[in-house]
Amino acid sequence: MAARVSCNDCSLSQICLPLAVEPAQLDELDRIIRRGRALKRGEHLYRAADSFEAVYAVRSGALKTYAMSEDGEEQVTGFYLPGEIVGMDGISTAYHISSAKALETSTVCEIPFTHLETLSSRIPSLQHHFFSLMSREIQEDRALHMLLSKKSADDRIASLLTTIAARQQRRGLSNRIFRLPMSRYDIANYLGLAVETVSRIFTRFQQQGLIRVEGREVEILDRPRLCGEGRLHAG
């Protein structure tokens, strides 16, 4: 059995919940967290309508959340990388309104919500940090709706790449070279595009010298042009 790793030893502690806790209070947070739950690729962490009991910190790998449309089609609603918290959709309803599935072999830390609430009431900084995470989730959901309603296909792809780069940087990793844990299908589904469109734009961005793509590895070569007005759009 692997040795138990505490929050204090975790490389993700500076972007996860322990960021908000003083060293003297870390043991309290440590005691309520259940670590090391492993998920195989394609395995569910929870499903829509499951009882809401905990939030989860991604420790390794990556997860996606999705909802089912009225006609039974899957709609990807988010991607979660190491250090990020998933499962907050159930706070107001007492059950999950979306499903969460591992994109690859992953591990999560489970944080029982009733214990987190109790601890947060004693540690205001933890409560404030958790509210900040909820606010970020709302902001990202709003940004996604704006992305889907207003921007071109090129802009959607560019925004996704720069957003993932920024999230990598928060983890102390390179914001220039990174691996996409999600498939082209999931990217297309999330951005409201056809898979063929996603592949075509990746190819064009590479031909224009904006990015380098090898499998799921992406290198941003020209960030200003990728983000800005200088990018060439297909006619």
> Which domain, by its residues, includes 204?
151-227
Of 136, 167, 195, which residue is a domain's last? Answer: 136
Per cent of the chain over pLDDT 90 is: 53
The whole-number average pLDDT for the span 130-142 is: 78
The pLDDT confidence band at residue 33, using thresholds 50, 70 and 90, is confident
Q: What is the pLDDT of residue 110?
A: 93
Summarize the confidence of residues 98-108 as an average pLDDT: 97
pLDDT of 235 reads 36
Indicate if the pLDDT at residue 196 is higher than 90: yes
Here the tokens at position 64 are 């996606």
155 plus 119 within the same structural domain:
no
Residue 233 placed within a domain: no
Looking up residue 155, the CATH number of its domain turns out to be 1.10.10.10
Distance, CA of 216 to CA of 180 (rounded, Å): 5
The verdict on residue 142 lying in a domain is: no
Whether the per-residue pLDDT at 148 is higher than 50: the answer is yes
118 and 184 both lie in a single domain: no
- Percent of the chain at pLDDT > 70 equals 88
- SS3 sequence, the chain? CCCCCCHHHCCCCCCCHHHHCCHHHHHHHHHHCEEEEEECCCCEEECCCCECCEEEEEEECCEEEEEECCCCCEEEEEEECCCCEECHHHCCCCECCCEEEECCCEEEEEEEHHHHHHHHHHCHHHHHHHHHHHHHHHHHHHHHHHHHHHCCHHHHHHHHHHHHHHHHHHCCCCCCEEECCCCHHHHHHHHCCCHHHHHHHHHHHHHCCCEEEECCEEEECCHHHHHCCCCCCCC
pLDDT tier for residue 134 given thresholds of 50, 70 and 90: confident
- Ramachandran region, residue 192 (left: φ > 0; alpha: ψ -120 to 50; beta: rest): left
Q: Which of 112, 136, 160 is the last residue of a domain?
A: 136
Note the pLDDT of residue 4: 54
The arithmetic mean of pLDDT across residues 184-196, rounded, is: 95
Average pLDDT score over residue span 21-38: 79
Count of domains observed in the chain: 2
Distance (Å, rounded) from C-alpha 30 to C-alpha 52? 21
pLDDT at site 92: 85
Instruction: Assess whether 78 and 21 both reside in one domain.
Output: yes
State the chain's maximal CA–CA distance in angstroms. 60
116 and 17 in a common domain: yes
The predicted structure's pLDDT at residue 108? 95
pLDDT of residue 14: 63
Q: Are residues 30 and 56 in the same domain?
A: yes
Listed in sequence order, the residues at least 6 apart from 189 whose beta carbon sits closer than 8 Å to its beta carbon are 66, 74, 75, 76
Q: What angle in degrees, to the nearest 10, is found between the helix axes of 124-150 and 184-191? A: 80
Confidence of residue 123 (pLDDT cuts 50, 70, 90): confident
pLDDT for the residue 156: 92
Q: Mean of the pLDDT values across residues 144-157?
A: 81
pLDDT band (50, 70, 90) for residue 232 = low
Among candidate residues 93, 108, 136, the one where a domain is terminated: 136
pLDDT at residue 2 is higher than 50: no
Distance separating alpha carbons of residues 147 and 3, to the nearest angstrom: 43
In total, the chain counts a number of residues equal to 235
> Could you tell me if 120 and 155 lie in one domain?
no
Same domain, 161 and 196: yes
Domain co-membership, 116 together with 166: no
Q: Do residues 58 and 82 lie in contact, with contact meaning Cβ atoms separated by under 8 Å? A: yes
Task: Give the tokens for residue 129.
Answer: 């940090």
Q: What is the pLDDT of residue 231?
A: 53
Co-location of 20 and 125 in the same domain? yes
| 87 is a domain residue | yes
